[in-house]
Amino acid sequence: MAYNPNQPVVIFKDNVERTPGQEALRSNIMAAKVLGATVRTTLGPRGMDKMLVAKGSDDIVITNDGATILHELAVEHPGAKLVVEVAETQDDECGDGTTTAVVMIGSLMEQAEKLIDTGVHPSIIAKGYNLGMNKALEILDSLAIDVTPQDKPMLLQIAKTAMTGKSIENIMDQACEVIVDAVSTVAEEKNGKMEINEDDILVKTKRADSMTAELVKGVLIDKVRPDSLMPKKIDGVRAAFLSGPLEITKTQAKSKIKIQSADMLSAFSEAERARLKGMADAFAAAGVNLVLCTKGIADPVQYYLAAQGIYALEFVAEKDCKYAAKATGGQMINKPEDLSEDVIGTAGKLEMDEELEMTFISECKDPKAVTILLRGSAQHLVDELERAVEDAKRVVQDVIEDGSYTIGGASVETELALRLREYAQTVGGRVQLAIEGYAKAFEIIPKTLAENSGFDTVDKVIDLRQAHATGNKYAGLDVFTGKVVDMKEAGVVEPKRVKRQAIQSSSETAIILIRIDDMMVSKGAGQM
C-alpha cells in the first residue's frame, strides 16, 4: 500500500491534552504571575488579609499567610501547582517567607516574559537565572550577621518581625516573649551546634474572653480528674505514664469459673478487689501522685488511687502521654509492675483548671518539652494567632540553629538587585541581559511593600537604590513612615534561612518553568 502524505498520523490518544511550544511557556508564565498577584497584597506589616470560604460550608479562614492561602485554593494548572509546592516547601523548611517566595516566582517569570519578547532564548534566560541565583546566595552570606542564643533582645526582634502585620498585634510583645523563652528552653547543644526539635514545643489553643499567650514549662492535658476525691492541686509531682490499662482485662482464651456457694462468690469478688487495689497500691508505694494512662482505669482503681491522694487520668492521647513523659523526664511503661525510679517523671506542680477543662503539669526541672497555651475570643482569631506563633517559633529556631540573621525591610533585596547588576556587567553577552532581568525581579519586594503601605512605588524604589548606591547596605523602607532608614538600627531582622530558601526555591522553580516548551496532560477515563 502506497504511503499517502496527506493521511493523518495519530500518535497521542484522545485523552491527551497537549499545549506545545510558546503557548506552554506563556501559560506557565501567566499561572505564576496570577498566583504572585494573588498573595502579593498580603506582603509586609501593612499587607491585607484574605477571607477564604469553603463552598457549601460555614468554615471561614481569615489570614495573610501565603502558605495557608495557597493551600486553601483549588489550583488546577500544572505550572501553578509547582508554585504552590514552593510555598509548602518554604513553610515546611522555614515556617515563614512563603509570600516572598511566591511573589518572587511571579516577578522572575514576568522578567523572563519581557526577555523572550526581545528575542532572548529561554535556555539563555535559564542559564542567566542560575548564575544569578548562585551569586545572590553568595552575596546573602556576606550580608548575614552572627547572633548567639543568649542574645535575647535580638531573638525578640526576629520574632516580632515575623509576627508584625498579623491580625494579633495587640498581644505581639507577650507572644514573642513566650516564643523566645520556649525555643531557648528546648534548645540543646550537640557537637558544637545548637539543635532544636520543633516537636518539643507543643502549641495548644482554647477559646476565652481575651487573647493571651502563656508558656507552660511542662504539658497541658485536655482532661480533668474523673473522681471528685482526687486532689485539684499537687506540689512536687511524681508521675507515672502507662500504655496499658489499669483494669482486669479479658483473657485471650475462653474460660469458665464454677461457683458453688456464696462464700466462693465472696472470695472471688474479694480476690478481684484485692487485685485492683494492688494496682493502686503499687503507685502509692513508689511515691507516685500522678498517673497518666492511655487506656482505661477501672472505677475501683480510680477510687483506690483517689483515696491515697493520687491524681489519675484515663484515655490520655498517646501523643500527650509521651510528651508529658519527655517534659518531666519520665518513661512510658506497660503495667504497674514495671515501676521504678528511672521511669518516674517529676514536676513542680499540678493544677486542674475546671474552666478550661485542662490539667496543667508545670514547673518541670530542665524540661525537654514545653507547651504554649493560646487563648482567643473567636475561633478565627485563635487560628490566626496559632499560625503567627508557629511562624515566629520557626524563625527563632532557624536563627538559633544557623547562628545568623539578615536585615528586613527590603534592604537585602535592594542590595541584591544592585550587586547583581554589577555582576551582570562582568559576564557579558545575552546572558548579561538574563542576569539583569533576574536582578530587576528582586525589586518586586520593595515595590510591593511600598504599594501595600500606600506610598508611591517608583519614588520609594529610587530612594532605596540611591541609599544602597551610596554604601548603606542596610537601608530599607519604613512602611509606617515611608522613609528610607537603616533597618539594622530599626531592629527589623529576619532569619538568613528564610531568605536563602525563598531565593533558591523561587529561582529553581522559575528555571524549571522557563525550560518547559510542551505540556501534555493525560485525562482519566472519567474526564474524557
pLDDT of 519 reads 61
pLDDT of 356 reads 84
Whole-number average pLDDT of the chain: 85
pLDDT of 254 reads 62
pLDDT exceeds 50 at position 525: no
Q: Which of 19, 63, 65, 359 is catalytic?
A: 65
Q: Which of 200, 391, 398, 478 is catalytic?
A: 391
> CA Rg, the chain, in Å?
30
Weakest-pLDDT range from 86-90, 291-295, 306-310, 347-351: 86-90
pLDDT of 414 reads 94
pLDDT tens per residue, range 248-286: 665 555 666 666 666 655 655 566 677 888 888 999 999
pLDDT exceeds 80 at position 119: yes
Cα–Cα distance for residue pair 133/51, rounded to 1 Å: 34
pLDDT of 45 reads 81
Q: Which of 19, 38, 98, 328 is catalytic?
A: 98
Give a three-class secondary structure readout of 425-438: HHHCHHHHHHHHHH
Based on the number of CB atoms within 10 Å of its own CB, is 516 exposed (0-12), middle (13-18) or buried (19 or more)?
middle
pLDDT of 528 reads 40
pLDDT of 17 reads 54
pLDDT of 11 reads 46
DSSP conformation letters of 465-516: HHHHHTT-TTEEE-TTT--EEEHHHHT-EEEHHHHHHHHHHHHHHHHHHHT-
**What are the cell numbers at 153?**
533582645
pLDDT exceeds 90 at position 381: no
65 has catalytic annotation? yes
Give 10's pLDDT tier (boundaries 50, 70, 90).
Answer: very low
Give 38's pLDDT tier (boundaries 50, 70, 90).
Answer: confident
How, if at all, do strands 332-333 and 145-146 pair?
A: unpaired
pLDDT of 23 reads 77
Q: Which domains, from first to last, does the chain contain?
A: 16-146+407-527 (1.10.560.10), 148-217+367-402 (3.30.260.10), 220-360 (3.50.7.10)
**What are the cell numbers at 122?**
529561554
pLDDT tens per residue, range 174-230: 889 999 999 988 888 887 788 888 888 888 888 888 888 888 888 999 899 988 889
Cα–Cα distance for residue pair 184/396, rounded to 1 Å: 9
Give 68's pLDDT tier (boundaries 50, 70, 90).
Answer: confident
pLDDT of 1 reads 47
99 has catalytic annotation? yes
Q: Which of 19, 38, 68, 99 is catalytic?
A: 99
CA 52 to chain centre: 19
Contact between 438 and 129 under an 8 Å Cβ cutoff? The reply is: yes
Mutual angle of helices 122-143 and 496-514, in 10-degree steps: 170
Q: Which amino acid, one-letter code, is at 353?
A: D
pLDDT exceeds 90 at position 57: no
**What are the cell numbers at 29?**
508564565
What angle is formed at CA 215 by the lines to CA 211 and CA 217, rounded to 5 degrees?
155
pLDDT tens per residue, range 147-173: 888 888 889 988 888 887 666 667 888
Based on the number of CB atoms within 10 Å of its own CB, is 11 exposed (0-12), middle (13-18) or buried (19 or more)?
exposed
**pTM, whole model, 2 decimals?**
0.72
pLDDT exceeds 80 at position 56: no
Rounded to the nearest 10°, the torsion over CA 483, 484, 488, 492 is 50
C-alpha distance from residue 126 to each of 78, 81, 108, 232 (Å): 19, 20, 11, 66
Average pLDDT over residues 421-426: 94
